[in-house]
Structure 1
Amino acid sequence: MARTTSDIVIDAPAATIMDVIADFGSYPGWATGVKAADVVDAGDGSRAKQVHFILDATPIRDEYDLGYTWDGNTSVSWSLVEKGSMLKSMDGAYILEPVDDSSTRVTYQLAVDVSIPLLGMLKRKAEKVIIDTALKGLKKQVEAL
């Protein structure tokens, strides 16, 4: 499954950005379309292992669970562990790389497969919109701290 990728530079250290990414309860406030994000499995207690999402991002309305793998403040990846009615698969990652002492490049990779037929071009365009919206929301949330 091909991944769509985009990146953004955020004026904050990687640890601050990763703390915002790991704060799933705040997602409805900054992640467009996310109506709820509830931790199902807290893992070791510092960062969630499984999260249940309620998404309302027209045309996709769905509920699903993502499983997370954390690598310190360098990256986090996820995949669909409990399918929804529309989502058949979702694999993604945030990769954080320091630019300088106060800035970090955040790369977002995403591959989504839905149960409704979509042309590859339309699916990649939808992934690009999701990624760009998420990166802008993340940047705004982090830099507002």
Structure 2
Amino acid sequence: MADESTQSITIAAPASDVLGVIADFERYPEWADAITSASVLTHDDEGRPEQVRFSLDAGPIKDTYVLAYDWVDDGVTWDLVSGQMQRSQRGRYRLSEDGSATEVTYTLSVDLAVPLPGLLKRRAEKRIMDQALTGLKRRVEG
């Protein structure tokens, strides 16, 4: 069973700007340090990315995987379609706009196919989440 981790950050921008950066997957390698490449494979009926292939290098966790996205009212959720090192991945960006700022809550649950010592797995998860949120903030506010 995969553990779930959650972190939040406040970004000085409207939710639509934040969601625009989240949906621009091909540019993830520019701001999400662990992502080395990303390509949209399919789009939904509204033209939003539906399946995306990523290559990840987060220290002890290296993987190429495909995620399926579901665009919901307050953000986006995703689930693993296929991966080399992961059995499952479930995540969510929940956006809550308050005035001129947006609180972004990132929830991630990953189950690896290969056993990884708990300490290394927690460090890698923390690194992935920290870099995703701080990178997102820098990208949107920059």
* TM-based fold match above 0.5: yes
Task: Indicate conservation of the 8 Å contact 1:5/1:128, yes or no.
Answer: no
The 3 A distance-change label for structure 1 pair 17 and 39 is: same
Normalised by the length of structure 2, the TM-score is 0.91
Where do 5+ consecutive residues of structure 1 fail to align?
none
* Residue aligned with 1:32, SS: coil
What root-mean-square deviation, in Å, do the aligned CA atoms of Structure 1 and Structure 2 show?
A: 1.5
Normalised by the length of structure 1, the TM-score is 0.90
Give the C-alpha shift of residue 46 in structure 1.
2.9
Partner Cα separation in structure 2 for residue 75 and residue 45 of structure 1: 15
Where do 5+ consecutive residues of structure 2 fail to align?
none
Task: Give every structure 1 segment of 4 or more consecutive aligned residues whose post-TM-superposition deviation is greater than 2 Å.
Answer: 118-126
By percentage of residues, which structure has more strand?
A: 2
Q: Which moved more, 1:13-22 or 1:87-96?
A: 87-96
Partner Cα separation in structure 2 for residue 14 and residue 114 of structure 1: 32
Superposition pairs of residues 77-116 of structure 1, within 5 angstroms? 77-84=77-84, 86-99=85-98, 101-116=99-114
State the match for 2:67 in structure 1.
Answer: 66
* Residue aligned with 1:44, SS: coil
Q: Size of the alignment, in residue pairs? A: 141
Partner Cα separation in structure 1 for residue 22 and residue 97 of structure 2: 16
Superposition pairs of residues 1-145 of structure 1, within 5 angstroms? 1-72=2-73, 74-84=74-84, 86-99=85-98, 101-144=99-142
Partner Cα separation in structure 2 for residue 59 and residue 130 of structure 1: 11
Give the C-alpha shift of residue 45 in structure 1.
4.5
Partner Cα separation in structure 2 for residue 20 and residue 5 of structure 1: 20
